[in-house]
Amino acid sequence: MRPVRPPPDGNDLDRGPGVGPTDALSLRVSVATLVRVVFGAAPDGTTLVALERTATVRRGRRRGEVTVVAKPFGGGATLTDPAALREAIGDFRFDSDRSRREQDFRLQVRPEAWERVKRICLDHLRPGEQSILDPSPHRELAEELLDSVGLAIRPEHYRLTPLGMRVLDAPRPSTSVRAPGRPTVRVYYVFEARWQASSIVRAMVKSSRETSDRDLSLSALRHAEEGGRGRANGVLVLGLDALRAAVLSTPEGDRGASLTLDGHRLAGNVPIILDDVELPGYRSYGPPTV
């Protein structure tokens, strides 16, 4: 019997799309959702913004080295219909085993397919449109706040508003541990979650005030020593105007790099949630009008 030849992109016929780049599938596409978590809990009425603060033990480096960084809540958009995507753009693969396992829209595609992928993402900018991908942030927000402050949240605890979409067209080397150095284009769906439940607001403010970066580092080290992934989560609460001023004071060409505010390191994607701040290389698309 003649053996069955694998498809040209290396995909598994039984298990669906494979993993990793090929000569043809050389462009990485990362589609994610970011959430600007805000509330008005300051005594002077200042709007506050909450970021997820994560401590991670760096594997393979100096013993005990931990990185602590604050970033927006959110995560990868979900690929809900791989067959429909393949019909629309042709062959693709997931960027990593984790993305494949979680069905994250972090893929390797042909460079010439990028415009079609972007068109699909724009079509899904309208809330409720979920034929190929799901950018809804509810699941990620619930998981991350449970990890950060130990409270279960539900969509009725906050009012969710779509702010639009930001797209990086020119590929940049990825800094992701899943796909380090791979040429990557990006789509970010940006939402604002304005909090209604005062108990959860109090928990976020308490986590920010009472948990230092050092506390999180020690927790991450203990987690690693116990055989875990070496991670610990908390919340960092900042004034929204202060955050915006810090980003605007940064030279425009450096706004994709990490910055420090009040002694805390902020990830390079934090400015993405500030919809009124220009970012080099990014094009903004407003939310659909009804």
The H or E element that residue 48 is part of is: strand 48-57
Say whether pLDDT at 48 is over 60.
yes
Q: What is the mean pLDDT of the chain?
A: 88
Predicted pLDDT at 15: 59
Q: Are the C-beta atoms of 51 and 233 separated by less than 8 Å?
A: no
Confidence of residue 2 (pLDDT cuts 50, 70, 90): very low
Tokens matching residue 275: 């919809």
d(CA 186, CA 266): 19
**What are the tens digits of pLDDT across the range 139-157?**
999 999 999 999 899 999 9
The number of CA neighbours under 13 Å toward the Cβ of 199 is 6
* The pLDDT of residue 5 is above 70: no
Strands 183-195, 73-76: pairing is unpaired
Residues contacting residue 33 through CB under 8 Å, at least 6 positions apart? 74, 75, 76, 77, 135, 136, 137, 140, 188, 189, 190, 191
| Residue 171 one-letter amino acid | P
pLDDT in the model for residue 265: 95
Q: Tokens representing 114?
A: 């990028």
pLDDT in tens, 92-120: 999 999 999 999 999 999 999 999 999 99
Q: Say what the pLDDT of residue 165 is.
A: 95
* Domain residue ranges of the chain, discontinuous segments joined by +: 27-276
Please report the pLDDT score of residue 175 as a whole number.
87
What is the rounded end-to-end Cα distance, in angstroms, of the chain? 59
**Are 92 and 79 spatial neighbours (Cβ–Cβ below 8 Å)?**
no
Q: What is the pLDDT of residue 127?
A: 60
Q: What is the pLDDT of residues 53-70, one digit of tens each?
A: 999 998 755 556 899 999
- Mutual orientation of helices 82-89 and 114-123 as an angle, nearest 10°? 130
Is the pLDDT score of 1 beyond 80? no
Q: What is the mean pLDDT of residues 35-48?
A: 84
Instruction: Give the whole-angstrom CA distance, residue 117 versus residue 109.
Output: 9
182-231 confidence digits (pLDDT tens): 999 999 999 999 997 788 999 999 999 999 999 999 999 999 989 888 99
Residue 289's CB is within 10 A of a number of other CB atoms, namely 4
The residue with greater pLDDT, 36 or 63, is: 36
Q: What is the pLDDT of residue 179?
A: 92
Q: What is the pLDDT of residue 7?
A: 43
How many Å apart are CA 60 and CA 269, to the nearest integer? 25
Residue 83 pLDDT grade (very low, low, confident, very high; cuts 50, 70, 90): very high
Instruction: Tell me the C-alpha distance between 247 and 270, whole Å.
Output: 9
CB 141 within 8 A of CB 73: yes
Residue 275: count other Cβ atoms within 10 Å of its Cβ.
15
Residue 42's pLDDT is what? Answer: 60
Q: What's the pLDDT at 63?
A: 59
**Which amino acid belongs to residue 129?**
E
Mean pLDDT of 73-78: 94
For residue 20, pLDDT over 90 is answered with yes
For residues 233-258, average pLDDT: 91
96: CB partners within 8 A, 6+ apart = 19, 20, 106, 178, 179
pTM: 0.89
Distance CA 84, CA 132 (A): 6
Structure tokens belonging to residue 107: 């893929």
- For residue 130, pLDDT over 70 is answered with no
Instruction: Report the interhelical angle of 138-149 vs 198-210 (nearest 10°).
Output: 50
